Amino acid sequence: DAKTTQPPSMDCAEGRAANLPCNHSTISGNEYVYWYRQIHSQGPQYIIHGLKNNETNEMASLIITEDRKSSTLILPHATLRDTAVYYCIVRVAWDDKIIFGKGTRLHILP
Amino acid sequence: KAGVTQTPRYLIKTRGQQVTLSCSPISGHRSVSWYQQTPGQGLQFLFEYFSETQRNKGNFPGRFSGRQFSNSRSEMNVSTLELGDSALYLCASSGSPGQGSGELFFGEGSRLTVL
């Protein structure tokens, strides 16, 4: 079973920040949080990952709570091209089989 | 740097046949994992190979098998195809311990239709 819980769908207005939540209450100390997205009929694309600290790259920011039981992926200025299914995964970086949950289907509204 | 390449992209088979799918990872990557994606079950982990050894395996019947070659290229095979095997099969590569942080790079997939 997936170790994460995400809302099945979310809407966000174009140009606004999209905040996608993820619960991982059973995360262990050596497990990272990874985010991927899948645009229709394409292979999933890596977005960002983190262990304890907040992370930012050119695509998104990742905010991890202090107790590490939840995180939020932030797309700062959502565009129509960000319409996709977003997956939050926890795993030990080099071990563990990778279990995808159902993800969150993000709709960007024009 | 070339991405992950999967072949063939599309194929149609009939029940009872077998199929072999190929995956070429990103140059320098030694880990390859395979996933099955269907509308009903989502993305499901099949197996992972590292340096020609299967490291992890998902909950699929023995009809699903794989292997990895010394150049890190991988193949998966499905024997005695069933209608329910119709799916998008995705391959992902990642580096080695100490190389990156385990992020996966996916190919575009092989879409299998079983008639």
pLDDT per residue as tens digits for the range B10-24? 999 999 999 999 999
Chain center to CA of B32: 8
pLDDT at A82 (0 to 100): 96
Give residue A108's pLDDT band: very low, low, confident or very high (50, 70, 90).
Answer: very high
Confidence of residue A98 (pLDDT cuts 50, 70, 90): confident
Report yes or no: B39 at the A interface, CB cutoff 8 Å: no
What local confidence, expressed as pLDDT, does residue A40 receive?
Answer: 86
Q: What is the model's pLDDT at position B42?
A: 87
3-state secondary structure of B85: helix
- The alpha helices in B1-115, defined as continuous H runs, are none
Supply angle C-alpha B101, A38, B110, rounded to 5: 95
DSSP A28-75: -TTEEEEEEEE-TTS--EEEEEESSS-EE-SS-EEEE-TTSSEEEEEE
Question: Mean pLDDT, chain B, as a whole number?
Answer: 92
* Segment among A72-76, B32-36, B92-96 with least mean pLDDT: B92-96
Note the pLDDT tens digit of each residue in B47-81.
Answer: 999 999 998 899 999 999 999 999 999 999 999 99
Is pLDDT at B100 greater than 70 in this prediction? no
Q: What is the pLDDT of residues A46-79, one digit of tens each?
A: 999 999 989 999 999 999 999 999 999 999 999 9
Q: Would you call A46 and B104 a contact, using CB atoms and an 8 Å cutoff?
A: yes
Nearest to B97 among A41, A94, A102 (CB): A94
Split at pLDDT 50, 70, 90, the class of A96 is low
The minimal CB distance from B108 to the residues A36, A42, A87 is found for A42
Most A CBs within 10 Å, among B21, B43, B93, to test the A interface: B43
pLDDT grade for A29, boundaries at 50, 70 and 90 = confident
**Are residues B87 and B38 in contact, defined by beta-carbon separation less than 8 angstroms?**
yes
CB distance A97–B92 less than 8 Å? no
- Confidence (pLDDT) at A95: 67
Give residue B3's pLDDT.
92
Which pLDDT belongs to residue A50?
94
Distance (Å, whole) CA A74 – CA B100? 22
- Picking from A88, A94, A102 by the largest number of B CB atoms within 10 A of its own CB, the best residue to mutate is A94
**Cβ-contact A65, A21 below 8 angstroms:** no
